[in-house]
Amino acid sequence: MAEVLVYVDHVDGAVRKPTLELLTLARRIGEPVAVHLGPGADTAAATLAEHGAVKVLTADAPEFADYLVAPKVDALQAAYEAVSPAAVLLPSSTEGKEIGARLAVRIGSGIITDAVDLEAGDEGPVATQSVFAASYTTKSRITKGTPVITVKPNSAAPEAAPAAGTVEQLTVTVADASKGTKVVSRTPRESTGRPDLTEAAIVVSGGRGVNGAENFPVIEALADSLGAAVGASRAAVDAGWYPHTNQVGQTGKSVSPQLYIAAGISGAIQHRAGMQTSKTIVAINKDAEAPIFDLVDYGVVGDLFEVVPALTDEVKARKG
Ligand SMILES: Cc1cc2nc3c(=O)[nH]c(=O)nc-3n(C[C@H](O)[C@H](O)[C@H](O)COP(=O)(O)OP(=O)(O)OC[C@H]3O[C@@H](n4cnc5c(N)ncnc54)[C@H](O)[C@@H]3O)c2cc1C
């Protein structure tokens, strides 16, 4: 069976959930071979094997941390040359997309970004994308070279499928040209204790209807009761009520959770562009004519200051 390279997104060997989703999808088109760069391969290997990696190719070098993505592209290219895979899968993070695009250029292949599903086809893997602010669903196949495909978080549920997970060292030569941009400092982001917005299974977002930074704790309380991330519309962010890093939409972050709750958000096309692939969408808006109601699975016409706290209390009560 053909091998499929899966780029591992991890923090010191703690494998992030989108990689486990990629392994699940990779098994539909071949045998997953994980590529783990940087420290923590021993810790990661067990998790990767548990989720179907037949092999784990690892390389650790200071260059992976000291420079931007180019040394990682050198490593993934080395893995590609060692394995001759049927496809290369990466998470659709900013870094994943840049690594994937650079690799595709180097190996003369086509790339599909932001896939939301993947299946085996007679002539190679077929990716599903949600395009033009999710107005269309397309299925595409790469016709040139080895398919390089980036997949959005939450596109598949990770499934355990124990495999050998044999760890092998990957020999990587980092090219001088890959050291053009050096990382000179790093500042850890302050942790809110909430899941990462782009990876969260549930997102609760607030818009202009929240009516002030002082009211955002109402949104946060619902998010915390559900173990969710907090998002915001651009109107809320531009007003300074919530950080720009939490903006969902065309010029913000693209999210695709299992559940998206929009409170006090009208549903402008630019907001929809970032959340319309969410599996289940719930809107709370006091205007029954708000365009957001055109795309929801469940709509609540009401004042968010009544509905959201009531929902939070109900969630807490049911959780006990
Ligand atoms: C180039 C460009 C890029 C953009 N990128 C983005 C983007 O990435 N993300 C984004 O979100 N927007 C983006 N926008 C802005 C977008 O067009 C909208 O202006 C914005 O999404 C509106 O935010 P909103 O829904 O919170 O506010 P509004 O459109 O003002 O809607 C507020 C809603 O809250 C409801 N409401 C008010 N009070 C309550 C209450 N008490 N209870 C319940 N409901 C209440 C109202 O009925 C209304 O529907 C972009 C615009 C442009 C031009």
Q: What pTM was computed for the model?
A: 0.85
For every residue of the chain, which 3-state class applies, written as one string? CCEEEEECCEECCEECHHHHHHHHHHHHHCEEEEEEECCCHHHHHHHHHHCCCCEEEEECCHHHHHECCHHHHHHHHHHHHHHCCCEEEEECCHHHHHHHHHHHHHHCCCEEEEEEEEECCCCCCEEEEEECCCCEEEEEECCCCCCEEEECCCCCCCCCCCCCCEEEECCCCCCHHHHCCECCCCCCCCCCCCCCCCCCCEEEEECHHHCCHHHHHHHHHHHHHHCCEEEECHHHHHCCCCCHHHEECCCCECCCCCEEEEECCCCCHHHHCCCCCCCEEEEEECCCCCHHHHCCCEEEECCHHHHHHHHHHHHHHHHC
Query: What is the reported pLDDT for 190?
Result: 82
Ligand 1 midpoint to CA 94 (Å): 25
Q: Which atom of ligand 1 is nearest to the CA of 274?
A: 8
Q: Binding site: what residues are annotated?
A: 208, 233-234, 247-251, 264-271, 285
Task: With a cut of 50, list the residues of the chain below it in pLDDT.
Answer: none
Pocket of ligand 1, candidates 241, 272, 286, 308: which has the most ligand atoms within 8 Å of its Cβ, to mutate? 286
Ligand 1 midpoint to CA 265 (Å): 5
Query: What is the reported pLDDT for 132?
Result: 79
Ligand 1 midpoint to CA 215 (Å): 16
Query: What is the reported pLDDT for 85?
Result: 97
Ligand 1 midpoint to CA 13 (Å): 39
Query: What is the reported pLDDT for 191?
Result: 83
Pocket of ligand 1, candidates 250, 278, 292, 311: which has the most ligand atoms within 8 Å of its Cβ, to mutate? 250
Q: What is the mean pLDDT of the chain?
A: 96
Ligand 1 midpoint to CA 96 (Å): 29
Ligand 1 neighbours (beta carbon < 6 A):
207-209, 233-236, 247-252, 264-266, 268, 270-271, 274, 284-287, 290, 303-305
Q: Which atom of ligand 1 is nearest to the CA of 207?
A: 26
Query: What is the reported pLDDT for 113?
Result: 96
User: What pLDDT digit, counting tens, does each position of 38-94 carry?
Assistant: 999 999 999 999 999 999 999 999 999 999 999 999 999 999 999 999 999 999 999
Query: What is the reported pLDDT for 247?
Result: 98
Q: Which atom of ligand 1 is nearest to the CA of 265?
A: 25
Pocket of ligand 1, candidates 216, 246, 285: which has the most ligand atoms within 8 Å of its Cβ, to mutate? 285
Domains of the chain: 3-178 (3.40.50.620), 202-319 (3.40.50.1220)
